[in-house]
Amino acid sequence: HPNIVAAYDAEQAGNTHFLAMEFVDGTDLASVVEQQGPLPVAKACDAIRQAATALQHAHERGMVHRDIKPHNLMISRNGQVRILDFGLAGFATETALCDADEETDGTSVEVAAAHLTTMGSVMGTPDYIAPEQARDAHFADIRADIYSLGGTLCFLLTGKPPFEAATVIDKLKAHVEQPPPALDQLRDDVPPGLARVIERILAKDPADRFQTPEELADALRPFLRPMQVRRRPSRAVLTAVLAVSVVLMLLLGVLVTVGTARGRMVIQSEVGDVQVVLKQGGKVIETIDAATGTTVRWLPMGEYEVELKGSDNDVELSQHGFTMKRLGQVIVAAKWSTEGTGTVRAFTTADQPITTDGVTVDDGGWKIAAAQPRSVHLFDVSEPHFLPGPFHYRAKLKTENVQGRAYLEMWVRFPGQGEFFSKGFQHALSGTNGWAEYEIPFFLKKGEEPDLVKLNVTIEGTGTVWIKDIELRGRRLEPETSTSDKSTE
């Protein structure tokens, strides 16, 4: 494809592996922006449109790039944009490895703390990674590449990625939790229509984005022509216009209202099928069906109240009232209640691990040696009786000379449905690290009742891992006590 840099061969020289690739007489878009500043709107949109056509070509052949970013987009001297590093791309069929993505709330999980290319899985770059890709790269489909194109477009227009933070984990959490920036408020020449396109590209839920790169390319076409700059009128003309305007206002009593006298309410929900009631002065304005992810409403300035419809004690709102200011933004989070969260089961060295091969008691915990990649099944918790919402596998880990990565892993079994997993890519460790506490979540929808939780440690490589202070935590539905079990005075 003319917008993809060809990889001709893969070779090895000693211990170095390399790709022989097509030469492109140009530079990457990251360098262009660093040297020249943000691009004109039309040029930025055209660059992303060209990249989208290349991704459509790959998509039709079952491929996902997984690491779209300004550094991987080359622009030649004649303005042609070419995508680099398709030699690292993965086949979309890998996304069929597990159906767990449909059973968990992708926007609510903690996200990966580093971008890694290990075991054939490209994790992506924190500044541009899609929320679902951060959780597990194997579940990333072409819509993750579309999200990364949106982040790249933000960079081309502003000189900054969509979310800035001091640490990698904070950046990745922002992709999951924060609404995208309103670019028409950051640049005066960004048309509102383009701002809406970018908001859709950067939707937290993949289902809310453009579903194919071709759809994105078509959406960008109206913005490919440079905006016309009108010649500045003479002072005499300006004076005449001003005078006429003043007279009309005085005669007609016209009050000019600014169309931007509104603000944005963002509902961030980690709960599916929740209804948020919006009121003003006690009167219901709208009942909003807030699906998992981000729901946006533009509201006139004023005082508002919000509440949940019904009496669901399992869900709570971050606030129940707010003042909307001009061009302001208010975030209302709908989260599972944490009331009653506690330790369901804790394990100490007095407990016998299920896997004992290469597992010994040491340093207040268990020492796990790996001469090759392995997943160690430590403990099971039967009939946990969790309430809807998140529960967590928590433990302390330390490592020594880990080649590859090591992380917590939890498998959850549902009767008649099979097993689904949560893997701790957000704390994947390599090398040598001292004791630190980590945890991974699993989210239960209403009506879901697992009968078994398996607690594992996975080492994708070699080395030694220690683990201690293992806990399974969550909100538990206490089983009813029968009459015969009750104590009597």
User: Whose CA is closest to 213, among 59, 338, 83?
Assistant: 59
CATH 2.60.40.1120 in the chain, residues?
A: 262-336
> What is the fold of 7-223?
Transferase(Phosphotransferase); domain 1 (1.10.510)
d(CA 463, CA 376) in angstroms, rounded, equals 13
Contact 466, 397 (CB under 8 A): yes
CATH code given to domain 262-336: 2.60.40.1120
Report yes or no: 366 and 359 within 8 Å, Cβ to Cβ.
yes
Q: pLDDT of 122-167, one tens digit each?
A: 345 788 888 888 766 656 788 999 999 999 999 999 888 988 877 7
Predicted confidence pLDDT, tens digits, the chain (489 residues): 889 988 777 676 766 767 778 888 889 999 899 888 899 999 999 999 999 999 998 888 778 888 899 999 999 988 899 998 765 554 443 333 333 333 334 333 343 443 333 333 334 578 888 888 876 665 678 899 999 999 999 999 988 898 887 777 778 788 888 888 888 778 888 898 899 999 999 999 888 999 999 999 999 999 987 644 344 455 565 566 666 665 555 554 433 344 457 888 888 777 767 789 999 999 999 998 876 666 778 899 999 999 988 755 678 889 999 999 887 888 898 888 777 789 999 999 999 999 999 999 999 999 999 999 999 999 999 999 998 888 999 999 999 999 999 999 999 999 988 889 888 877 789 999 999 999 998 888 878 899 999 999 999 999 999 999 999 999 887 654 444 343 333
Q: CB–CB of 8/22 below 8 Å?
A: yes
* Distance from C-alpha of 325 to C-alpha of 322, rounded to nearest angstrom: 10
Catalytic residues: 67
Q: Is the pTM of this model over 0.85?
A: no
Residues of the chain with CATH 1.10.510.10: 7-223
d(CA 393, CA 440): 5
The third-level CATH classification (topology) of the domain covering 341-475 is Jelly Rolls (2.60.120)
- How confident is the model over 32-53, as pLDDT tens digits? 998 888 999 999 999 999 999 9
- If one counts every other C-beta atom within 10 angstroms of the C-beta of residue 101, the result is 19
